[in-house]
Each structure stands twice: as structure tokens, then as C-alpha cells.
Structure 1
Amino acid sequence: MKTMTFWGREDTDERLLVECMSGLKTATCTPKVWMEEEEMSYVGDLFEVYTKLGELACLIEITEVYEIPFGDIKGEVGEKIAKGENSTLDEYIKDHIFTWEQPLNEQGYGFGKDTRIIVEHFRLVESYIDYRGIPAYEPRD
């Protein structure tokens, strides 16, 4: 079975996992250049989702997958992606520029409106732990 751990700004940042398990987050996306062929997902794929400490948290099922240029995240499609990411469209765009721009540039891929991303929509199938017991994210000083 495929596995994943949601990204966080720090190694203690489990906000995206908590949002997934509480039903607020129903989509995730990744720059295509960061995905190996065997990591590509398809409708119906199941993923075990782990905490950053390696504890199995939940099981999700992929319900929709598509590839889109980052610059095309606008209008109805952009709103759908942002809603799935539990964010507004402006927040989504700003957050993902913050998250992806520097590492993609450092790795020599570059980042811009033509950067291809893979969008995966999902549904929560089963929870193995109580998300309310996951420690809240606290930024480090």
C-alpha cells in the first residue's frame, strides 16, 4: 500500500494531517518533478497517512487526480483546489509559492506559472488515532 506524510513548515507541524482527519482538507498537490513514476496515484488508490513521528494515523482514498500548470490555478478549478486544501485561493497560491519556490529553484527546476503540479483529491476512509490527540503545532523561536 502507498504511504504519505503531510508537509509542515516544521517537523512538529501536523496541521495538514489534523485538517485531513477532521474532514477540512480533501486535496493535496505536489510539483510533478518531485514525483517518481511509482509514486503517481490513480483514482481508487489507498494511502496510509502517517504522523511525522511515524504513527499510522488514517487511510485515505484518491477520488480524482489531474495535472495542471501552477499558473492555471484560478477560477473554478483554482477555487476547487483551494477549498480541498482548506484555504482561500489567494492563501493557497501564497502558501505554495512559499513552500515550493526556493527548493525548486535550488534544485535547478525553477518555479513559475508553467510549473506542472499533480493535484490529488481524496476522501478519509478510516482513522486509526484521534486527531484531537495530535499535539498542536507550535512555531519554534
Structure 2
Amino acid sequence: MKKMTLWGRDEHDDRLVLEVIRGKKTATCTPKVWYYDSPEEPPTEVGDYVAVYDQQGKHRCTILITENYEIRFGDVDEKIAKAENTNSIEEFRKDHVVSWEDALRQEGNGLDDNTVIVVEHFELVEKL
């Protein structure tokens, strides 16, 4: 089974994992430059079952990938924002700029409307 860690604002922030467990969060996304670079967390495909871990390395739930696609950051729509459990496209953008911008810059990458992200929609299969 593939593995995914949901990161928060610090090592104790399990908000995103809890949103998945509660059924509020049904998608996640990451910049494409990070998505394909992790040997510990290989890219997913539709139909994959994925073990979701918190930042302490504890397996918290299992999800089934239902959609997986690339999109420009500037093209994020209400469907993605809602699935990410944000109230609007603007809130989605703000949250992800805070989460990604500095790290991307430190690696020599920018974050703008043309930045390609990978979106993974999923269904919760099992709570642990």
C-alpha cells in the first residue's frame, strides 16, 4: 500500500488528518516539483489505496484515490477548494501560499498562477 503524510504548520498540527477522518477533507494537493521527488511517498493513481500518516509517523486512516490530475495554481476552482475543506478559492490560495511559498523559494522555485500542482481526490476507506 502506498503511503502519504499530511503536513501541518508544525510537527504537532494534525488538523488535516483529522479533517480527513471526519470526512471534511476529500482532496489534497502538492506542487508538482515535490510530488514526483519522494521515494517514500510515490505518486498515486486512481484506484490506489493509500495509508495516511500524521507527522509523528502514526497510520491514522486509509483512503482510496478517486481522481488524480495536474492543474495550474491559478486555475484552482471551487470543486478543489471545497474538497480541500476551504471556504473559497481565495482561502485555498492564501493557505497554500503560506504553506508552500517559502520552501519553494528556498529550493529555487517560485509560486505563482503558473505553478503546476497535483490534485488527489479521495474517499475515506478506514479510520484507525
Q: Structure 1 length as normaliser, TM-score?
A: 0.84
2:36 paired with 1:33 = no
Q: Say whether 1:46 aligns with 2:49.
A: yes
**Counterparts of 1:51 and 1:71 in 2: how far apart (Å)?**
28
Counterparts of 1:16 and 1:22 in 2: how far apart (Å)? Answer: 10
Matches within 5 A, 1:84-103: 84-88=83-87, 89-103=89-103
Kept after mapping to 1: 8 A contact 2:29/2:119: yes
% identical equivalent positions: 52
Structure 1: gaps spanning 5 or more residues: 129-141
Give matches, 1:43-122, under 5 Å.
43-73=46-76, 78-88=77-87, 89-122=89-122
Count, aligned residues: 124
Q: CA RMSD in A?
A: 1.2
Bigger Cα Rg: 1
Alpha-carbon distance in 2 for matches of 1:40, 1:49: 14
Displacement after TM superposition at 1:4 (Å): 1.1
* CA distance in 2: counterparts of 1:57 and 1:35, whole angstroms: 21
Deviations 1:69-102 (A, max 9, x none): 10111xxxx1000111111221111001111111
What's the CA shift for 1:51? 2.1
Distance in 2 of aligned mates of 1:111 and 1:57? 30
After the TM superposition, list the runs of 4 or more consecutive aligned residues in structure 1 that deviate by more than 4 angstroms.
none
